[in-house]
Homo-oligomer: A and B are copies of this chain.
Amino acid sequence: MSNCVKVNPDLQKERDNCTFNVTELTHLIDGGPHKTDERKKREEMVFKEGIHIDDVPSDYLSHKEKYELAVKKACMLFKMLRRLQDEENAGMENYRALLGGNLGTAILGDGSPLTLHYVMFIPTLMGQATVEQQAYWIGRAFNLSIIGTYAQTELGHGTFIRGLETTATYDPATKEFILHSPTLTSYKWWPGGLAHTANYCVVMAQLYTLGKCHGIHPFIVQLRDEESHVPLPGIKVGEIGAKLGMNGTNNGFLGFDRVRIPREHMLMKNSKVLEDGTYVKAPSSKLTYGTMMFVRVMLVHDVCNYMAKAVTIATRYSAVRRQSQIRPDEPEPQILDFVTQQHKLLIGTATVHAFRLCAGWLWDMYNNVTAELETGDMERLPELHALSCCLKAITTSDAAACVERCRLACGGHGYMLSSNLPLTYGLVTAACTYEGENTVMLLQTARYLVKAWRGASAALPPTVAYLAEARLSRHAPRWRTSVDGIVAGFQSIAAGKIRTCVAQIEKREKSGMCFEDAWNMTSVQLASASEAHCRAFILSSFQAETEKLVVTTSASLKAVLLQLVELYAVYWSLQCLGDLLRFTSISERDIEELHNWYEDLLVKLRPNAVGLVDAFDIRDEILHSTLGSYDGRAYERLMEEAMKSPLNAEPVNRSFHQYLKPFMQGKL
């Protein structure tokens, strides 16, 4: 990567002064040297095809042109993928890297109209279709004879799935389902690829049979003629319009005017409707939680990628940018030397590691719980569900804040699309809303925590075990200024807030309020209890997982990794001082110690700031940023990119002759 490019001398100096082996950390992040090799080979292979190169950056295209470019590139990408699969039989790894990971966004920066085909359509068929149905559909889907998507959200309902309005009514006479959109708000709204790309769709609809509603079930529906791509009769389909981001995804709407589909098009692996219209319920409704949780685990991985990009860009730029003065009569310092700048960036680097290790932990737990489910054991399902909800909320909102902080830390230039920070923010902030709105997610975890608190006499699962201890003693354990102490502190906060909320709810109930209203009145504090629980969990697993890792690393890397854990812990304790003061025995002297510890950590980490982001090893093609490239030629690239603006292709724009000149001459 670094061979034969001339690197900005400030950036080179940073690399020369790094105290640890950057490659060692890269290997650690990838999961071993062979994994790094595989990744690099895959990247090499993909980028040598040149699909990622645009004549005119897509930022300058019209909305329609952006879609057309996205279709072209998505087709090229998956064509290449097909070839690669044929050549080396590489399994799912290539798919995963190109769909979810950094590599996909390097080619289709603002989303792909084919993603949902792979990420939702095919997996739903695999998870919810019967064996016969799979035999019929999956082959066609895999070889792209059909392109599908997944339609659940409606104009009027998102997170609250029970409220969906689309109906699928069984007609035993013809053995068909009639799909219908009874209201404007029942139109499907948002599914990626739905607008002009997919010709098939899994539709979630309220199932009616023999006069009774049985709730939401999946149906496969053909939307467009396979030859002409024209929408079929009764199908109203189109795109929902321009968005803050993801303008390559071709999000669509979909309405049905009594569209008939064969009975066999209901996906019947779980629940069924027999020919005579009899409804047969699935053995367990909890099985469908699986996909939702899987997606949330993947989301934590995604937001790590976005954050890693943003901190790489902002940190390298801060090493290159010189500005202002610290000491008079000295040259302008690198802005990375300002402690306020270190404060904005280093927590970002630490957070990437924290979330990455959490995601790994959650992935293991997910696999364990899924394995237990297969044997009928559902004991840890509520715990996993509660954990995945608050982690979804906290990681996405922290990541969005981190990306935006990085953008603002680059000053005006962060506002340029060519920095790639605005686009990254557009992607990461979307995750605060989709797959469960964040406030709703926090309150779901809170519900679990309140239940756990009330039942704390019984044995509690590991991640909430601390609640039982807290319930026993009314006094917080003595404050200790250490990472362990901080974890215990956050657990005290969570327990203390839950205790307060439960007391509030009970008080309100006694005053005559029903539980639901009392819950609603207390919900601001409940969400905050849920957040504290999540922070305690993230911090403790970050620490525990890092302790495991450093057993095998070099001493120099070990030192840096432990500093990152400390930084993350101290940063958050300083952010949450009010809570610590309320729910632990922390003193003013302890706070001073925390401040000193924090400032000391910034001093220690400063020389490794660039090395740490280099270790994320994000290729320039993936970063796609004028400010963040490996060689640090930020100003040169800003100018080079500006010159690609079609407005700069001609010295005088036609609007001068058309409007400006007549206007100036009073002739308009």
Contact B184 A523 (CB under 8 A): no
A65 within 8 A of B: yes
From residue A366, how far is it (CB to closest CB) to chain B in Å?
A: 26
User: Which listed residue, B61, B163, B337, touches A323 by the CB 8 Å rule?
Assistant: B163
Contact B642 A239 (CB under 8 A): yes
A568 within 8 A of B: no
From residue A444, how far is it (CB to closest CB) to chain B in Å?
A: 11
A460 within 8 A of B: no
Contact A242 B417 (CB under 8 A): yes
Contact B517 A243 (CB under 8 A): no
Q: Which of A575-615 contact B (CB under 8 A)?
A: 576-582, 588, 591, 595, 599
Distance of A599 Cα from B580 Cα, bound (Å): 23
Contact A240 B147 (CB under 8 A): no
A638 within 8 A of B: yes
Q: Which residues from B are CB-within-8-Å of A243?
A: 415-417, 422
Contact A343 B196 (CB under 8 A): no
User: Which listed residue, B63, B514, B635, touches A59 by the CB 8 Å rule?
Assistant: B63
Question: Are A659 and B578 CB-contacts (below 8 A) given A238-B648, A243-B415, A599-B521?
Answer: no
A475 within 8 A of B: no
Contact A647 B63 (CB under 8 A): yes
Q: How many copies does the complex hold?
A: 2
Distance of A41 Cα from B553 Cα, bound (Å): 73
Q: Which residues from B are CB-within-8-Å of A144?
A: 663-664
Contact A440 B324 (CB under 8 A): yes
Among A27-35, A123-131, A226-234, A295-303, the stretch in contact with B: A226-234
A89 within 8 A of B: no
Q: Which residues from B are CB-within-8-Å of A668?
A: 75-76, 79
From residue A123, how far is it (CB to closest CB) to chain B in Å?
A: 20
| Interface flags, A222-261, vs B, CB<8A=1, else 0 | 0000001111000000111111110000000100000000
Question: Are A187 and B422 CB-contacts (below 8 A) given A163-B324, A244-B415, A516-B326?
Answer: no
Distance of A432 Cα from B525 Cα, bound (Å): 30
Q: Which residues from B are CB-within-8-Å of A663?
A: 75, 78-79, 144
From residue A653, how far is it (CB to closest CB) to chain B in Å?
A: 5
In the complex, residue of chain B having the shortest beta-carbon distance to the beta carbon of A577: B578
Contact A639 B147 (CB under 8 A): no
The main secondary structure of chain A at its interface with chain B is helix
From residue A395, how far is it (CB to closest CB) to chain B in Å?
A: 15
Q: Which residues from B are CB-within-8-Å of A411?
A: 158-159, 433, 437
A197 within 8 A of B: yes
What's the interface size class on A, roughly? 35 or more
A155 within 8 A of B: yes
Contact B324 A520 (CB under 8 A): no
Contact B639 A343 (CB under 8 A): no
| Interface flags, A648-668, vs B, CB<8A=1, else 0 | 100111111011111110101
Distance of A591 Cα from B189 Cα, bound (Å): 44
Q: Which residues from B are CB-within-8-Å of A338?
A: 520, 523
Contact B240 A197 (CB under 8 A): no
A327 within 8 A of B: yes
A334 within 8 A of B: no
Question: Are A71 and B655 CB-contacts (below 8 A) given A416-B241, A577-B578?
Answer: yes
User: Which listed residue, B343, B422, B645, touches A63 by the CB 8 Å rule?
Assistant: B645
A443 within 8 A of B: yes
Contact A432 B408 (CB under 8 A): yes
Contact A60 B63 (CB under 8 A): yes
Distance of A324 Cα from B439 Cα, bound (Å): 13
A216 within 8 A of B: no
Question: Are A195 and B240 CB-contacts (below 8 A) given A516-B326, A659-B72?
Answer: no
Q: Which residues from B are CB-within-8-Å of A653?
A: 64, 67-68, 71, 196
A371 within 8 A of B: no
| Interface flags, A312-351, vs B, CB<8A=1, else 0 | 0000000001111111100010000111100100000000
Q: Which residues from B are CB-within-8-Å of A666?
A: 143
User: Which listed residue, B412, B432, B664, touches A190 by the CB 8 Å rule?
Assistant: B412
Question: Are A636 and B516 CB-contacts (below 8 A) given A241-B59, A439-B340, A660-B75?
Answer: no
Contact A646 B63 (CB under 8 A): yes
User: Which listed residue, B147, B514, B524, touches A660 by the CB 8 Å rule?
Assistant: B147
Known contacts A230-B652, A408-B432; can you find 4 more A-B pairs with CB under 8 A?
A71-B659, A75-B668, A157-B323, A184-B636
> Can you report 13 residue pairs joining A to B where beta carbons are below 8 Å apart?
A62-B65, A72-B658, A72-B659, A160-B332, A184-B639, A229-B651, A229-B660, A239-B648, A241-B417, A245-B415, A327-B514, A338-B523, A576-B578
